[in-house]
Amino acid sequence: MSAAPGRAVRWRRRFGLEPLDCWLAALRAAALVTGIAWWALAPDWTRAPQLPILGTFALFTVAFYLLNALRPGRIATLYRVALVFDLGIVFLLLRITGGFASDLHLAFILLIALHAFYFGLTTGLATAAAAIGLYALAGEWPPPMPGFVLRVGAFALVGLCMGVVSEQARRQREALEQQHEQLIRSERLATIGELAAGLAHELRNPLAGIGGVLRVLAGRLSPEDATRALLADVQAQTARMEKTLSELLQHARPAAPTLVDVDVNGLLEQSLRVLPRGAIEIVRQFDESIPPLRADPGLLHQAFLNVLVNARQAMAQGGRLTLRTELSAAGCTVRVLISDTGIGIAPEHLGRVFQAFFTTKSRGTGLGLAIAARAVEQHGGRITVASEPGRGSTFTIALPVDAPIGCTRREAHAAPGAGR
């Protein structure tokens, strides 16, 4: 039972075709068979010019899919070339079968619908415009009214409607892909978290004991003893390991939020006070109209601080750190934007910066941003990043306001320019 589907998949991959491409190929084959049947039933005076047109269509179709099989990955470009060819074929057929009186104008509608669905709204409207122009040249003027107006109106309407449907389907696919990636990420983090939590718990207690013994030994040595320096180094490394294990345990087993009224601007100021500044300029752009949020101040402080530390480390040679807060147009979301003028993030790393243990730093643990993302998610919020290598990064933390029912609806219809 599974052999036939397996062969079909292998055949499809051999020719570089997706499932939708197979349906389009079947449609071209059906169009060719219909054309041959139509030629056989056509009056004698139209049969002669039809045959070379149908033959050209058949040869082009074969060449189209052979070229795609030889050079896979360029099917979209080939479809655009085929669109120009198909529009020309329909135009010629209209000319020899009666112009405005021919029913083959329906082929224009099919081409518009297919390409609007495949490529989207812009290509759909462009195809409709090309079809209207060609149809206007296909018969003798003046065209029959109101039939001509109704037909070209149908061309434009089909291009618009199918283009809108295509755009909505594309957005839904992207949303589903993001949800799938989020589910995979959550499952991966859950598995790693359980393992890491157990490991961190087992190692942290012995390390604490080792640190205590080192402090006792250091206290028994004279200040001039060279061994004290060695013990100090060991203590520093032990403390760093304890800190890493604590972060790991915090990420793997986050504490449940204790919600109180929190002033976001004040919490950012608190986080700035403990941030090592160095030669960086701090720019504050706070929206004082932001209402208090129901949040855990400890968790949010940790999230803000981790993002700020990441931004500070990206500006080793100095720069400008900008903190901006804003309330969305619908009043449902508070956005915190933390921007730096540092080295930026490479495009291939953007999708991984919030993954646990991912880091590009030589001494980093890869847990800081993961902990920040977890804390934001615990509050029903979302953290995103935009970056340009060499010009800096902007982290956006969106937190929901404890708003009345209907806020989500207003937020969904807010102006696109509202916020970031």
Domain boundaries, the chain: 3-179, 190-252, 260-412
Which parts of the chain have pLDDT scores under 50? Answer: 1-4, 404-406, 408-420
pLDDT tens string 263-308: 999 999 999 988 877 778 999 999 998 999 999 998 899 899 999 9
Q: What is the pLDDT of residue 394?
A: 95
Q: What is the pLDDT of residue 263?
A: 93
The domain defined by 260-412 folds into: Heat Shock Protein 90 (3.30.565)
Please say whether the beta carbons of 395 and 385 come within 8 A.
yes
From CA 76, how far away is CA 175, in angstroms rounded?
Answer: 22
Can you tell me whether residue 227 is helix, strand or coil? helix
Characterize 297-332 residue by residue with b for buried, 16 or more Cβ atoms within 10 angstroms of its Cβ, and e for exposed. bebbbbbbbbbbbbbbbbbeeebebbbbbbbbbbbb
Instruction: State in Å, rounded, how far the first CA of the chain is from the last one.
Output: 52
CA–chain centroid gap for 98, Å, is 49
Least Cα distance to 325 among 264, 256, 272 occurs for: 264
Please say whether the beta carbons of 105 and 135 come within 8 A.
yes
Cα torsion at 21, 26, 32, 38 (round to 10°)? -130
- Residue 113 pairs in a beta bridge with none
Q: What share of the chain is helix, strand, coil (3-state, %, to 5)?
A: 65, 10, 25
Read off the pTM.
0.47
Which residue type, as a one-letter code, is found at position 48? Answer: A
Residue 22's CB is within 10 A of a number of other CB atoms, namely 14
Residue 231's CB is within 10 A of a number of other CB atoms, namely 17
Q: Report the half-sphere exposure of 62 (CA within 13 A, side-chain side).
A: 6
Q: Could you identify the residue written with the tokens 């934007």?
A: 337
Q: What is the pLDDT of residue 2?
A: 46
Q: Report the half-sphere exposure of 340 (CA within 13 A, side-chain side).
A: 25
Q: Could you identify the residue written with the tokens 């021919």?
A: 102
pLDDT tens string 40-64: 776 665 666 667 777 787 887 778 7
Least Cα distance to 369 among 298, 299, 309 occurs for: 309
From CA 326, how far away is CA 115, in angstroms rounded?
Answer: 41
| 88 to 80, 210, 330: CA distances (angstroms) | 13, 82, 50
